[in-house]
Chain A
């Protein structure tokens, strides 16, 4: 079945450090891939997405590239800020379906 495997956390970085959160997936066909972010006490916000192989999603300095050959969608940011502290979820959905499969989430804490 469809599944997402996400890098275990928590991750603690100093401000301006480089961030990578690994995400790999298992799915039939060509799923769409997403990164969602959850700030404390809030619901999920879409951070970025990619719908086909080699697409790069980007938003707020975050980037992720849909790599079909390695079934990966790693999240990166060149310089994190304290305000980036949150839980990040990798997710996939199959074409035509409205149910998301989520990874376990990675808690990021950025210290000044």
Chain B
């Protein structure tokens, strides 16, 4: 099976812009979670989607949002970008909710100038 894929792999944006990142889970996986990785804060959970519904949310401002489509693909959106949003954004998938193991994609490296 193909792994989790994320597009694009690299992005450069300027402050105030918005950005959309995409994640395609492993075939058959229905749960998608998003994480932010920064040198200062480490790995932090953003949100989880299952059956097109957000099931769980981390402690991030409302500028961070997401959605999931009927084919389980997911997108996350960040509006009004700030310099501090520069990070590696990782997507992870699992077959269903409550499954222990999450499988991660390679990430999207976002740089905000």
**Contact, CB under 8 Å: B103 / A42:** no
**Contact, CB under 8 Å: A100 / B106:** no
B23 to chain A, nearest CB (A): 11
Starting from the known contacts A91-B43, A98-B48, A100-B35, 15 additional A-B residue pairs (CB-CB under 8 Å) come to: A34-B100, A34-B101, A43-B4, A43-B90, A44-B90, A93-B102, A95-B98, A96-B97, A96-B98, A97-B56, A98-B31, A98-B33, A98-B97, A102-B42, A105-B42
Question: Among the listed stretches A21-29, A45-53, A60-68, A78-86, which one makes contact with chain B, having 4 or more residues with CB under 8 Å of it?
Answer: A45-53
Q: Does A32 make an interface contact (CB < 8 A)? A: yes
| Chain A residues with a Cβ under 8 A of chain B | 32, 34, 36, 42-46, 49, 51, 89, 91, 93, 95-105
A93 in contact with B48 given A43-B90, A98-B33, A98-B94 (CB within 8 Å): no
**Contact, CB under 8 Å: B101 / A98:** no
Distance in angstroms between the alpha carbons of A93 and B33 in the assembled complex? 13
Distance in angstroms between the alpha carbons of A61 and B94 in the assembled complex? 25
| Chain B residues with a Cβ under 8 A of chain A | 4, 31, 33, 35, 42-45, 48, 50, 55-56, 58, 90, 92, 94, 97-107
A58 to chain B, nearest CB (A): 15
**Contact, CB under 8 Å: A89 / B43:** yes
**Contact, CB under 8 Å: B42 / A32:** no
**Contact, CB under 8 Å: A99 / B100:** no
Residues of chain A within 8 A (CB-CB) of B100 are: 32, 34, 49, 51, 93
Distance in angstroms between the alpha carbons of A102 and B35 in the assembled complex? 10
Residues of chain B within 8 A (CB-CB) of A34 are: 100-101
